Structure 1
Amino acid sequence: MTSIRDLLGDALGVGETYRLRLEERDGLLVAAHPNDASPMDIAVVEGLDRLEERPPTEPVTVEIVGRVVGGRIAGRVVESGPRNA
């Protein structure tokens, strides 16, 4: 049986990684969630030491973690800088 928690986890993409453009809002680095079904944006709160600039000028790779920060799903930077072609 599928639970509400499972459906919400799927919509939020917990454990998934995305290449995102970050901006600063309310003192946090935030990105729009790439999944249109997600009810939350992403607050990037972990792995910030990987960033050279805040907010970074290029998209970064962010993994969604299973907690909420300031009404947004939390994420962590796993890779920053331009991707190799």
Structure 2
Amino acid sequence: MATITQQITEAYDRIARRGDLVRLADLRDELGETVNRHELDDVLRLMNRSGAAQLSPMSTQGDLTDHDRWSAVRVGSLQMHLISIR
């Protein structure tokens, strides 16, 4: 069975090219229910800290959907809505 990091990377690769910004809502949709939300959020934070991925907030908060808000990952005091993997 693939690690959560591998599952994230594989899901990202299915929906984007390396370096593209992807909505975490889309990534969660691609992963489906295969990963526990809390474990997924922890691994996304770890990937962000290690430099394996970059999490970013949406620059125009008015463009956020309810699904974007639900899918966000809190890092410090910020809600992150986007991911990029190189």
Q: Which of structures 1 and 2 has the bigger CA Rg? A: 1
TM-score normalised by L of structure 2: 0.25
More strand by share: 1
TM-score after normalising by structure 1: 0.25
Higher relative contact order (CA 8 A, sep 6+): 2
